[in-house]
Structure 1
Amino acid sequence: MTVSDRLKKRRLELGLSAAQVGERVGKNKTTIYRYENGEIEKVPYSIIVPLAKALHTTPEYLMGWEEQNDDVMRQLEKDGHITPLSLSGTHKVPLLGTIACGNPIEAIERTGEFIDLSDAIKGDFALKCKGNSMVNARIYDGDIVVCRKQDMVQNGEIAVVLIDNDVTLKRFYWYEDAKVAILRPENPDYKEIQITAEDTVDVRILGKALTTIREVK
């Protein structure tokens, strides 16, 4: 798929109009359609980052970096279409226990381990994933998810959520009028979790997922 294909596919998956996406990135709907239809052949990298944020995905997904081989990536960098990530500084974050990408599991605990992150990634802690409920968000069993501590996320963002004594990783939605929280997987084989005001459970957001680290096998 091209960048244009991914932009359109992701927008439709979220049920957003071109106008809504345009509002989020400071462009009109005509420009968004031109990106999606390939009329603007090379979408500027400066707009890829806000587009990824508006579409609750990553620049890597929109650019299709995982589909590029090394020679193509080097050419993109040479042509100025992408900017290599600076690894000049690093910091350590704690690697906590396993988090469920499936059914919620017991609350996470510290493992005593740490991982090194580039300073470009503003993460506070990392978790190892177990399960396949988030595979369509490109989060797989065994991945390490880097997270930022925060107690709120925007609807549709991927959050680390505490449900009583269990923790899970899901897309989080809160509907104020109905007083309903929905934890939505990214795999049709798994059911979403709905929690209403009548449910006597404690629901808290522990952090927002930023990126994943995958072991090369």
Structure 2
Amino acid sequence: MTVGERIKDLRERLNISQVDFANKINVSKQTLYKYENNIITNIPSDKIEAVAKIGNISPAYLMGWDINSSVAIKKGISIPVLGRVAAGIPIEAIEDIIDTEEITKEMAKTGQYFGLKIKGSSMEPKISDGDIIIVRCQDYADSGDIVVATVNGTDATCKRIRKYRDGIELISNNPEYPPKFYSNKQIAELPIRILGKVVELRAKF
């Protein structure tokens, strides 16, 4: 395989569009097309390194010098990890992407997902500051679920939800943070919006 073919193979394995991949390595879509189709063969070293970083592989593999490192190519689907989620902005429109995480293809088939970096200690000890949570986009939740929600137009918060006939309670794991109850009227007027359900925790060491 040529360098361009390896780049294309990697991009397709990661399920990233040409536009998004081109943006990640800071080239135009047309330039990426030329890379992948061997129209441009003398690819700058900084672009090779950028591609390798995205795929978690060695630049040597892309250059054809270390074929054995091809096993390092991720087999799953990459999702964005966000530093914050602002109220009222669709997940796909948020530009504050600080990293990526990988989920299985099987999981990806069940909905849209994003990662969110936790800030603060309200969900300790289980979920700590700096941990990454994997969130499935949905606007509903069952009582007891851990959710990502926005309250009163602020950035999203991670809390456990408890549902009642007359409202909901957003509960922290950390007992130093008391639960907050919101009536059905407050839910509608503030508003309170569920952005997704937390399905996985990827804790830091």
TM-score by length of 2: 0.52
Q: Give the AA of the match of 2:171.
A: R
- Give the drift of 1:88: 7.9
Q: How does 1:103-182 map to 2 (within 5 A)?
A: 107=87, 109-112=94-97, 113-119=99-105, 121-122=107-108, 124-136=113-125, 138-166=126-154, 167-176=156-165, 178=166, 180-182=167-169
d(CA) in 2 for partners of 1:121, 1:133: 28
- Give the drift of 1:163: 1.1
Highest CA radius of gyration, 1 or 2?
2
Q: Any gaps of 5 or more consecutive residues in structure 2? A: 1-72
Q: Secondary structure at the match of 2:83?
A: strand
d(CA) in 2 for partners of 1:125, 1:188: 27
Q: How does 1:1-217 map to 2 (within 5 A)?
A: 89-98=75-84, 107=87, 109-112=94-97, 113-119=99-105, 121-122=107-108, 124-136=113-125, 138-166=126-154, 167-176=156-165, 178=166, 180-199=167-186, 200-216=189-205
Q: Secondary structure at the match of 2:101?
A: strand
Q: Secondary structure at the match of 2:174?
A: coil
d(CA) in 1 for partners of 2:101, 2:192: 28
> Against the structure 1 CA distance between its residues 196 and 210, is the aligned structure 2 distance closer, same or farther, given a 3 Å change threshold?
same
Q: Secondary structure at the match of 1:135?
A: coil
d(CA) in 1 for partners of 2:185, 2:107: 38
CA contact (8 A) 1:94 1:110 kept: no
Q: How many residues align?
A: 121
Superimposed CA distance per residue, residues 145-196 of structure 1 (whole angstroms, 9 cap, x where no aligned partner): 00101111110110011112122110112212x2x11101111100111111
Q: Give the AA of the match of 1:187.
A: N
Q: Give the AA of the match of 1:116.
A: E
Supply the RMSD in Å over aligned alpha carbons: 2.4
CA contact (8 A) 2:148 2:158 kept: yes
d(CA) in 2 for partners of 1:88, 1:182: 39
Q: Any gaps of 5 or more consecutive residues in structure 1? A: 1-86, 100-105
CA contact (8 A) 1:161 1:206 kept: yes
> Against the structure 1 CA distance between its residues 141 and 121, is the aligned structure 2 distance closer, same or farther, given a 3 Å change threshold?
farther
- Give the drift of 1:97: 2.1
Q: Give the AA of the match of 1:194.
A: F
d(CA) in 1 for partners of 2:84, 2:74: 29
TM-score by length of 1: 0.50
Identity over aligned pairs, percent: 30
d(CA) in 2 for partners of 1:133, 1:120: 31
